[in-house]
Amino acid sequence: MAVSEPQLLREPPPFSRDRAVHLWIGVKALSDAGDAIWSIALAWTAVQITSPAIAGLIVAAGTLPRAVILLFGGVLADRANARHVMMLFNVLRIGVLIAVAVWVLFSSPSVIVLLLAAIAFGACDAFYEPSAATIARQMVHTRDLPSYSALMQTASRLGTMGGAAIGGFLVAGTGMVGSASINALTFTVVVAFIAIWLRPRFALPRTEKESPLRGIRKGFVHLRTDPVTRTLVIALSGLNLAVGPAVGIGLALRAHDQGWGAAAVGIFEGLLGLGAALGAVSVARWRPRHEARAGFSALVVQGIAIAALGFGPSWSVAASCFVIGATAGYASVLLGSTFAATVDPMYLGRMSSITRLGDDVLMPLAMAVFGALASATALWVPFVAYGAAMTALMLIPLRNRAFRDLSVSHGG
């Protein structure tokens, strides 16, 4: 099964010498570092001024508005100029950050200010992310999407890790004012780059002007009538629902149960990040011919590794964490590029929003079910259940010949 290019506006240079794309990846990584700094500042400030329960509410406050608005963001992404949408909502983010910094500079931080800032960021994300998801398809040839995704995800992970590493020191030294100001600066760099240097090379078809609800309904009709897109969206929507609870809750439960201590959880998380970075980089170096087949096969292995987290000593759990990270980094690059190349460009924004919606809506439930299973049964049970569910979900597209033969980078 081959994939087609959207309409060519101007021929991009070879990917290895594409300075505009390389700079965009670097700018995005810088922005991710700023986001990590802001996230740490938000959480740290919240726990200083209120109870743990309210602090948790503040940190999670952006999820609900993002879930409510995401589908409208997808409609906008398929109708409007993606660059303009990205610039607008980054400018709004800058405004929110400056407002918070000014407020905290002249008054002490309050729960309502932090809550409003988190909600505003969630709303901006809902409009920004679907449009940003279409940029790769507008910048590089479909054959270069795996290389683009590999470099973008690696740089993004490194940016987030770097921002997280300095975020604690920054908020301790400069408080919310310094952290918000630094993130505002990174968004300013992003806006300047998009406005001055980021120019699409491929034109995506635009949908006709219609009511947002009609646009959302057409997106779901397309999902129902296009089996390849439907399978991709379902699979990608469920990717984090197994690994998220196993890592987010399960590792802490195992470390507590075995008496390994909090340091062990930090080591496990570090191995996850290292594996993810190496997995993503490996795609740029050794790219498989059939990306979807390789990506879903890697996630079958990930399902087995998730189940393995529930057993054995600390070194085997550490090894499983590295495998989970490596398969996640490897598969996310391959399946993300397959998604961008395969989905009808007219529906790319809406399909991206539906995929992300799965995480926002279902992740809290997946976390709660994992915890309930761990409380009601033996601790290994939820690990095995979630790992088996991941493996079973990934076997569905692997049994589909269209996915087994799909090739993004080789055009056949």
Mean pLDDT value across residues 378-392: 91
pLDDT beyond 80 at 224: yes
The per-residue pLDDT for 191 is: 94
The answer to whether residue 409 scores a pLDDT higher than 60 is no
Both structure tokens of 259: 């008496």
pTM of the model: 0.79
Could you report the per-residue pLDDT of 107-127, keeping only the tens digit for each? 888 889 988 998 998 889 889
Q: Are strands 7-8 and 202-203 parallel, antiparallel or unpaired?
A: antiparallel
Contacts of 288 (CB under 8 A, 6+ apart): 294, 334
Q: Are 405 and 322 in contact (CB under 8 A)?
A: no
User: H/E element holding 247?
Assistant: none
- 212-405 CATH fold: Growth Hormone; Chain: A; (1.20.1250)
Say what the pLDDT of residue 411 is.
Answer: 46
Amino acid 412: pLDDT: 44
- Please check the confidence at residue 169 and state whether its pLDDT lies above 60: yes
Measured between alpha carbons, how far is 234 from 228 in angstroms, rounded to an integer? 10
For residue 95, how many other CB atoms are within 10 A of its CB? 14
Report pLDDT for 258.
85
Average confidence (pLDDT) over 48-64: 74
Query: Are 322 and 262 within 8 A, CB to CB?
Result: no
Q: What DSSP character marks residue 7?
A: E
Q: What would the pLDDT profile of 328-379 be if each residue is shown by its tens digit?
A: 888 888 888 888 888 888 888 888 888 888 777 777 788 788 888 888 888 8
What pLDDT score was predicted for residue 397? 79
Which tokens in the block code for residue 55?
A: 């602090």
CA 12 to CA 34: how far, in whole Å? 29
The rounded Cα 104 to chain-centroid distance in angstroms is 30
Rounded CA-CA distance 315/321 in Å is 10
Q: Rounded to a whole number, what is the distance in angstroms from the first to the last CA of the chain?
A: 5
Whole-number Cα distances in Å, 291 to 74, 144, 156, 366? 25, 12, 21, 28
How many CB atoms within 10 Å of residue 106? Answer: 8
286 DSSP β-pair partners? none
Is 174's pLDDT higher than 70?
yes
Sign of CA pseudo-dihedral 47, 53, 54, 58: positive
d(CA 239, CA 328) in angstroms, rounded, equals 9
- DSSP secondary structure of 63-81: HHHHHHHHHHHHHHHHHS-
Q: Which residues neighbour 291 within 8 Å (Cβ) at sequence distance 6 or greater?
A: 146, 334, 335, 337, 338, 406, 407, 408, 409
> Could you tell me which residues are beta bridge partners of residue 7?
203
Instruction: Say if residue 4 is exposed, middle or buried (CB neighbours under 10 Å; 0-12, 13-18, 19+).
Output: exposed
pLDDT tens-digit profile of 131-163?
A: 988 998 899 888 888 888 888 888 887 887 777
Residue linked to tokens 């660059």? 83
Other beta carbons within 10 angstroms of residue 240's beta carbon come to: 19
Report the candidate in 78, 99, 102, 77 with the shortest Cα–Cα distance to residue 88: 77
User: What is the CATH number that goes with domain 7-203?
Assistant: 1.20.1250.20
Angstrom distance (rounded) from CA 114 to CA 101: 11
**In this predicted structure, what is the pLDDT of residue 52?**
64
- Burial (CB < 10 A; 0-12, 13-18, 19+), residue 252, is middle
Q: What value does the mean pLDDT of the chain take?
A: 84
CATH 1.20.1250.20 region(s) of the chain?
Answer: 7-203, 212-405
According to the model, what pLDDT value does residue 307 have?
Answer: 94
CB-based contacts of 378: which residues, under 8 Å, 6+ apart? none
Radius of gyration for the chain, computed over Cα atoms and rounded to the nearest angstrom: 21
